[in-house]
């Protein structure tokens, strides 16, 4: 059986974290997103406009993650 009380406590702790230190889940997303941006920017055969759109979307998503 899942301990939902512990899960709720973890979520609350994550949401109360200071913006300077991202909760583990958000930090992983941020790292993965940065790696994806780097991969796309280095990829050959991807049109520049597509790279630009992906980069802009990724930056917006990072801003949301980092609050």
Whole-number average pLDDT of the chain: 73
- pLDDT of residue 56 exceeding 80, the answer is yes
Domain spans of the chain, in order of start: 4-66
Over residues 8-31, the pLDDT tens digits come to 445 555 555 455 566 777 778 888
Characterize 7-41 residue by residue with b for buried, 16 or more Cβ atoms within 10 angstroms of its Cβ, and e for exposed: eeeeeeeeeeeeeeebbeebeebeeebeeebeebe
* pLDDT value, residue 1: 44
In the prediction, which pLDDT does 11 show?
52
């Amino acid at each position: 059986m899942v301990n939902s009380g512990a899960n709720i406590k973890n979520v609350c702790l994550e949401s109360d974290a200071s913006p300077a230190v991202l909760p583990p889940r958000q930090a992983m997303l941020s790292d993965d997103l940065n790696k994806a941006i780097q991969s796309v920017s280095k990829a050959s055969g991807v049109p520049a406009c597509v790279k630009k759109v992906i980069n802009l979307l990724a930056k917006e998503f990072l801003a949301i993650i980092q609050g």
